[in-house]
Amino acid sequence: MTIIIISFVLGFISTKIFIGFFKGMLTQAGIVRQNYMGIMIPVGMGLVFLPYIIMNACIADYFHDEKVVPYYILGVIAMSLAGVVDDLVGDRSSSGFKGHFKALFKGTLTTGAFKALFGGAVAFLISLSFTKEIFEIILNTLLIALATNFFNLLDLRPGRALKIYTVSCIPVLIFSSEVSRLLLGGMLSSALAYFWDDIKARTMMGDSGSNVLGASIGIIAAYEFGIWTKIAILAALILVHAVSEKYSITKIIESNRLLNYIDKLGR
């Protein structure tokens, strides 16, 4: 437990230090995008999570010689880099799985289709490390892939994805092993360190950040939970994705007084 606390504190402090450097790097490189208020701000700030993710994986690997550690770090970094592609050259002319794959079938590879295909392949590779049972491989693959994309769907307003991530991490941390608590706890500390910049719309973490949130919690859930718990989580993720194909998540939140209050809290 002591090493988990130390890791959490280190993650928060180090990420706070990294934020200024990454913000300056992205601004100087002209990697900016108009946010929902029409203000140009740095995008791709999710890269700020990567330094401590690697540092924390080193700590986890030193204290816990478990197979999940290298696959966790592989999955999170790979998903983040897939998000970088969308942050840099993303085309917003297509949206949703339906839109991206419709374009693909017409011979056009969108960044969204690339993320889905690449993310699915990464999720499949990680699933193979947990089990050789066909059903569970498929289950883990879908859970990791959809969890990753779930936070993409949420990251349309400042602080929204990070609020849901923080709440979602709590039960996963409670019911996980020590190595998973160390890995996910370190990621959570980085997310909390970045939270203020995000909710005040000073920067956008972009897909390079939201992918990290989803992949980190998806991989740990796939590794730690039993079949029925994973089926329940996957069913919820499928439902959210199905709804998002027809309706705006933002409009659904804004139409509910309580959800809208929570969503705007802190902005």
Known binding-site residue numbers for Mg(2+): 152, 207
Q: Which residues define the annotated binding site?
A: 152, 207
Distance between CA 77 and CA 158 in Å, rounded? 23
Distance between CA 15 and CA 93 in Å, rounded? 34
224, 177 contact by CB (below 8 A): yes
Distance between CA 206 and CA 87 in Å, rounded? 6
Distance between CA 108 and CA 82 in Å, rounded? 18
45, 23 contact by CB (below 8 A): yes
Distance between CA 110 and CA 107 in Å, rounded? 10
Distance between CA 134 and CA 19 in Å, rounded? 42
